[in-house]
Amino acid sequence: MTAQDQIKDVIEKNPVVLFMKGTKAMPQCGFSSRVAGVLNFMGVEYQDVNVLADAEIRQGIKDFSDWPTIPQLYVKGEFVGGCDIITEMTLSGELDTLLEAKGVAYDKAAAEKIREANA
- 10-34 as b/e, with b when 16 or more CB fall inside 10 Å? bbeebbbbbbbbbbbeebeeebbbb
Q: Is 83 annotated as a binding residue?
A: no
Residue type, 90: T
> Which helix or strand (DSSP H or E) is residue 34 part of?
helix 30-41
Numbered residues of the known binding site: 29
Q: Which residues are annotated as a binding site for [2Fe-2S] cluster?
A: 29
